[in-house]
Protein backbone atom coordinates (compact mmCIF):
# COMPACT_ATOMS: atom_id res chain seq x y z
CA UNK A 1 0.00 0.00 0.00
CA UNK A 2 1.47 3.32 -0.97
CA UNK A 3 0.85 6.78 0.36
CA UNK A 4 1.50 6.07 4.02
CA UNK A 5 3.83 8.45 5.85
CA UNK A 6 4.45 7.83 9.56
CA UNK A 7 3.38 10.67 11.85
CA UNK A 8 6.83 10.66 13.46
CA UNK A 9 8.32 11.78 10.13
CA UNK A 10 6.11 14.89 10.19
CA UNK A 11 7.15 15.67 13.75
CA UNK A 12 10.83 15.31 12.79
CA UNK A 13 10.26 17.65 9.82
CA UNK A 14 8.57 20.15 12.12
CA UNK A 15 11.47 20.19 14.62
CA UNK A 16 14.01 20.47 11.76
CA UNK A 17 12.15 23.50 10.41
CA UNK A 18 12.17 25.09 13.88
CA UNK A 19 15.94 24.43 14.24
CA UNK A 20 16.57 25.86 10.77
CA UNK A 21 14.77 29.08 11.72
CA UNK A 22 16.96 29.35 14.83
CA UNK A 23 20.18 28.59 12.87
CA UNK A 24 19.48 31.52 10.57
CA UNK A 25 19.12 33.78 13.58
CA UNK A 26 15.45 34.27 12.95
CA UNK A 27 14.58 33.40 16.55
CA UNK A 28 16.21 36.67 17.74
CA UNK A 29 13.40 38.63 19.49
CA UNK A 30 14.94 41.91 18.33
CA UNK A 31 14.53 40.99 14.65
CA UNK A 32 12.52 43.53 12.69
CA UNK A 33 10.22 40.98 11.06
CA UNK A 34 10.00 38.57 13.98
CA UNK A 35 6.22 38.79 14.48
CA UNK A 36 5.58 37.93 10.83
CA UNK A 37 8.16 35.13 10.87
CA UNK A 38 6.67 33.69 14.07
CA UNK A 39 3.22 33.75 12.45
CA UNK A 40 4.58 31.82 9.45
CA UNK A 41 6.35 29.35 11.72
CA UNK A 42 3.18 28.84 13.80
CA UNK A 43 1.10 28.37 10.63
CA UNK A 44 3.55 25.77 9.30
CA UNK A 45 3.53 23.93 12.63
CA UNK A 46 -0.28 23.95 12.62
CA UNK A 47 -0.42 22.67 9.02
CA UNK A 48 1.89 19.78 9.85
CA UNK A 49 -0.09 18.91 12.99
CA UNK A 50 -3.40 19.05 11.09
CA UNK A 51 -2.08 16.98 8.19
CA UNK A 52 -0.58 14.32 10.45
CA UNK A 53 -3.84 14.07 12.40
CA UNK A 54 -6.23 13.98 9.43
CA UNK A 55 -4.30 12.46 6.54
CA UNK A 56 -6.12 9.45 5.07
CA UNK A 57 -4.26 6.25 5.62
CA UNK A 58 -1.83 7.76 8.09
CA UNK A 59 -2.12 6.19 11.52
CA UNK A 60 -1.88 8.90 14.19
CA UNK A 61 -1.06 6.44 16.95
CA UNK A 62 -1.35 2.77 17.67
CA UNK A 63 -4.99 1.75 17.94
CA UNK A 64 -6.31 4.62 15.83
CA UNK A 65 -8.61 3.92 12.92
CA UNK A 66 -6.93 4.00 9.53
CA UNK A 67 -8.79 5.00 6.40
CA UNK A 68 -7.73 2.53 3.68
CA UNK A 69 -7.15 3.53 0.08
CA UNK A 70 -10.05 2.69 -2.25
CA UNK A 71 -10.81 2.66 -5.98
CA UNK A 72 -14.39 2.96 -7.25
CA UNK A 73 -15.16 1.91 -10.82
CA UNK A 74 -18.52 2.04 -12.55
CA UNK A 75 -19.67 -0.04 -15.51
CA UNK A 76 -23.08 -0.16 -17.18
CA UNK A 77 -24.18 -3.01 -14.92
CA UNK A 78 -22.31 -2.63 -11.65
CA UNK A 79 -20.14 -0.61 -9.30
CA UNK A 80 -16.81 -2.22 -8.37
CA UNK A 81 -14.94 -1.10 -5.26
CA UNK A 82 -11.37 -2.21 -4.47
CA UNK A 83 -10.03 -1.43 -0.98
CA UNK A 84 -6.54 -2.07 0.43
CA UNK A 85 -6.76 -4.10 3.66
CA UNK A 86 -3.24 -5.46 4.21
CA UNK A 87 -2.93 -8.42 6.54
CA UNK A 88 -6.68 -8.93 6.97
CA UNK A 89 -8.52 -12.24 6.68
CA UNK A 90 -12.12 -12.49 5.51
CA UNK A 91 -13.26 -13.10 9.09
CA UNK A 92 -11.78 -9.73 10.11
CA UNK A 93 -13.87 -7.73 7.60
CA UNK A 94 -17.45 -6.47 7.87
CA UNK A 95 -19.21 -4.98 4.83
CA UNK A 96 -22.59 -3.24 4.79
CA UNK A 97 -24.42 -1.76 1.82
CA UNK A 98 -27.50 0.45 1.72
CA UNK A 99 -28.72 1.96 -1.57
CA UNK A 100 -25.76 4.17 -2.53
CA UNK A 101 -23.54 3.84 0.57
CA UNK A 102 -20.85 1.21 1.18
CA UNK A 103 -19.31 0.83 4.65
CA UNK A 104 -16.28 -1.34 5.33
CA UNK A 105 -14.84 -2.14 8.74
CA UNK A 106 -11.89 -4.41 9.43
CA UNK A 107 -10.20 -5.21 12.70
CA UNK A 108 -7.37 -7.58 13.50
CA UNK A 109 -5.83 -8.43 16.84
CA UNK A 110 -2.76 -10.59 16.99
CA UNK A 111 -0.77 -11.91 19.90
CA UNK A 112 2.56 -13.74 19.69
CA UNK A 113 4.23 -15.44 22.59
CA UNK A 114 7.73 -16.91 22.64
CA UNK A 115 9.37 -18.67 25.56
CA UNK A 116 12.94 -19.82 25.90
CA UNK A 117 15.24 -20.94 28.68
CA UNK A 118 16.33 -17.44 29.57
CA UNK A 119 13.78 -15.24 27.84
CA UNK A 120 10.10 -14.57 27.46
CA UNK A 121 8.62 -12.38 24.74
CA UNK A 122 4.99 -11.46 24.21
CA UNK A 123 3.92 -9.10 21.44
CA UNK A 124 0.50 -7.76 20.58
CA UNK A 125 -0.62 -5.88 17.51
CA UNK A 126 -3.89 -4.25 16.61
CA UNK A 127 -5.09 -2.86 13.27
CA UNK A 128 -8.42 -1.23 12.53
CA UNK A 129 -9.66 0.13 9.22
CA UNK A 130 -12.91 1.94 8.47
CA UNK A 131 -14.13 3.44 5.21
CA UNK A 132 -17.52 4.78 4.06
CA UNK A 133 -17.99 5.42 0.38
CA UNK A 134 -20.87 7.14 -1.36
CA UNK A 135 -21.44 5.11 -4.49
CA UNK A 136 -22.02 6.75 -7.88
CA UNK A 137 -25.28 4.83 -8.38
CA UNK A 138 -27.94 3.05 -6.36
CA UNK A 139 -27.12 -0.66 -6.01
CA UNK A 140 -28.89 -3.90 -5.12
CA UNK A 141 -27.33 -4.79 -1.78
CA UNK A 142 -28.84 -8.31 -1.76
CA UNK A 143 -26.82 -9.25 -4.86
CA UNK A 144 -23.48 -7.81 -3.73
CA UNK A 145 -20.44 -10.11 -3.83
CA UNK A 146 -17.03 -9.63 -2.24
CA UNK A 147 -13.62 -11.29 -2.44
CA UNK A 148 -10.45 -10.74 -0.43
CA UNK A 149 -7.18 -11.69 -2.08
CA UNK A 150 -3.61 -10.55 -1.32
CA UNK A 151 -4.81 -7.79 1.01
CA UNK A 152 -7.24 -6.27 -1.51
CA UNK A 153 -10.98 -6.42 -0.89
CA UNK A 154 -13.02 -6.28 -4.11
CA UNK A 155 -16.77 -5.67 -3.85
CA UNK A 156 -19.06 -6.09 -6.89
CA UNK A 157 -22.34 -4.22 -6.49
CA UNK A 158 -24.98 -4.70 -9.21
CA UNK A 159 -26.81 -1.49 -10.05
CA UNK A 160 -30.53 -1.05 -9.55
CA UNK A 161 -32.17 -1.36 -12.93
CA UNK A 162 -33.05 2.06 -14.21
CA UNK A 163 -36.40 2.22 -15.94
CA UNK A 164 -36.27 3.64 -19.43
CA UNK A 165 -36.76 7.32 -19.62
CA UNK A 166 -40.06 8.50 -20.92
CA UNK A 167 -40.59 11.84 -22.59
CA UNK A 168 -43.44 13.89 -21.31
CA UNK A 169 -45.25 16.31 -23.60
CA UNK A 170 -46.33 19.62 -22.28
CA UNK A 171 -50.06 20.18 -22.84
SS3 for 24-44 is CCCCCCCCCCHHHHHHHHHHH
Read off the pTM.
0.55
Span of 3-7, 13-17, 97-101, 104-108 with lowest mean pLDDT? 3-7
pLDDT, tens digit, for every residue of 48-70? 766 665 555 444 443 467 888 89
Q: How far apart are CA 19 and CA 128, in angstroms?
A: 35
Highest mean pLDDT among 28-42, 43-57, 138-152: 138-152
- 147 alpha carbon, distance to own chain's centre: 20
- Domain layout of the chain by residue ranges: 7-54, 70-158
- Give the number of C-alpha atoms closer than 13 A to the C-alpha of residue 160, restricted to the C-beta side: 13
Could you give phi then psi for residue 105, rounded to 5 degrees? -130, 135
Once rounded to an integer, what is the mean pLDDT over residues 102-131? 87
Determine if residue 92 is left, alpha or beta; phi over 0 gives left, psi from -120 to 50 gives alpha, anything else beta.
alpha
**CATH code given to domain 70-158:** 2.60.40.790
Amino acid sequence: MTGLVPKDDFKRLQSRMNRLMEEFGISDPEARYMPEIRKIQDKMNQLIDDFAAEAPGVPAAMGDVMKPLADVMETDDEVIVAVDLPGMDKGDVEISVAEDLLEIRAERKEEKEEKGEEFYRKERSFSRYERSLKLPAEVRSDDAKATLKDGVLTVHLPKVEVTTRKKVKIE
